[in-house]
Amino acid sequence: MRQTQHDREIIRPGLHIIVLAAGTGSRLRPHTDNLPKAMIPLPDGQSLLGHTLSLLSKDPLVGDIVIVGGYEYEVLRRYVETQWNSRCRTIFNPDYARKGPVYSVLRGLEQCHTERFVAIMNGDTWFSKSALRLVTGMAADAVGATLLFGLRATELAADDIRILADEGRIRRVGKGIDRAQMISAGCCLLPPRAVRRLHAFLASIEAGRHPEVETWHEALNHLLEAGEPIEFRSLPRDEWQEIDDESDLAKLIHRMDACRKAGAM
């Protein structure tokens, strides 16, 4: 893979952001026939990724923004190079088809300063301006625990990343949790200590250990076992929307139309 200035490390002060954008989006074809999942177009003319980057790039608390790509990487790289040259850069995950999210987080953490807060967010999730400001603001408040954002679940879908918690303190994260009370919004804020621990654990997975870990959320359980506190923070359901298939995209389009009419977009 050709290296560009976007693949080289340029550290800026402030909160580091890792956006995971390596997915193929097979359930969103034909939208994703020639596009990364995070780059599907929205009714306002922006892509899903463009919406997120436009908000993050205007946030004074945000420093470096790293977008980890894989599927149709050159499309992603050219887009970031053309539209977001001064604030964002891309990195390629060659293993995106094999434990993609786990290795994408690892590739992103390799680009981050280990003494700063890091926010990891799924590139296939739409977040409102207020939701992203909530996340970055908590980093500015220098919280000591890792924070996982989501909502209290009334129903659980098979694809949901589930959260088991006790009075806001998370006990376990993953898909196969029967007694889960919450689901993840695909966004996590880590203090420097947790950044270093997560990086080391993901590197051990790449070295062949812990083959049972399939998602980056599941890797958070290792932090829990190591004594790292992880707390739940609520994001209202109307402040984010994960896009997995056509029905999710239709829900988001409806929400954007409603917000536009209300003047809240």
Tell me the per-residue pLDDT of 6-40, one tens digit each, with 9 for 90 and over: 444 444 558 999 999 998 777 777 767 788 888 88
**How is residue 111 written in tokens?**
């680009």
CA–CA gap between residue 176 and residue 178 (Å, rounded): 6
User: Any residues with CB less than 8 A from the CB of 256 and at least 6 apart, and which?
Assistant: 42, 43, 44, 265
The predicted pLDDT at position 150 comes to 92
Q: Can you give the length of the chain in residues?
A: 265
Kindly report whether the global pTM for this prediction surpasses the value 0.75.
yes
Cis peptide before 30 (omega within 30 of 0): yes
Tell me what pLDDT residue 106 has.
94
Cβ atoms of residues 171 and 211 within 8 Å? no
Domains belonging to the chain, first-starting first, are 5-262 (3.90.550.10)
CA atoms of 200 and 29, how far apart (whole Å): 36
In the predicted model, residues of the chain with pLDDT beneath 70 are 1-13, 31, 99, 140, 142-143, 259-265
